[in-house]
Amino acid sequence: MKLVKFKNWQNHSMKFKILPHIGIGPVKLGMTKEEVKESVGNKYYCASSENIDYYFENSFQVEFENNKADFIGISSNDSYIVTYEGKNVFDTKAEKLFALITENEKLNHEYNSDEYLFPDQIISLWEADSQYDNYESYSREIWAQIGIGSSSYFEAVSRYRDA
């Protein structure tokens, strides 16, 4: 099998921090579509649907409710590094990242590799699998997407799950 690594992974041009209740990188919860587009830049814009804009080859998505950013989801891309509490989320084993996020929650949480939503921070994790390990030749389970949402996003997801 051919070893696949990010192009110039040590020299990513951007570094985005995940800040629960605030945003990811330049995109903040509550921004309008226009503010998001301005903060990220047209250069990285890919596509849009009625309530979702996509950036960085569709690896950065912003969902809107009433024209305000309500959810921000990010997947691995060689244009940026994404960190949570100083750890590169796409170069950290899924179980370790889950445990790190749990440390900042009021209650303990049981690991689930399919999907998970942490209620205190409104951080979502989706699909841990080795196919997303772009740093060590697909040898570790890494989360496909990490996201943060607003309180209205959390309420909507909770209503859907309870239905």
Tell me, what's the pLDDT at 163? 65
Summarised one tens digit per residue, pLDDT across range 35-51 is: 999 999 889 999 999 89
Tell me, what's the pLDDT at 162? 74
Tell me, what's the pLDDT at 92? 98
CATH topology of domain 9-162: protein yfey like fold (2.60.460)
The tokens describing 142, both together, are 């890494």
| pLDDT value at 146 more than 70 | yes
Q: What is the mean pLDDT of residues 131-158?
A: 96
Residue environment code for 51-80, b if the CB has 16+ CB neighbours within 10 A, otherwise e: eebbbbeebbbbbbeeeebbbbbbbbbbbb
Q: Cα separation of 56 and 73, whole Å?
A: 12
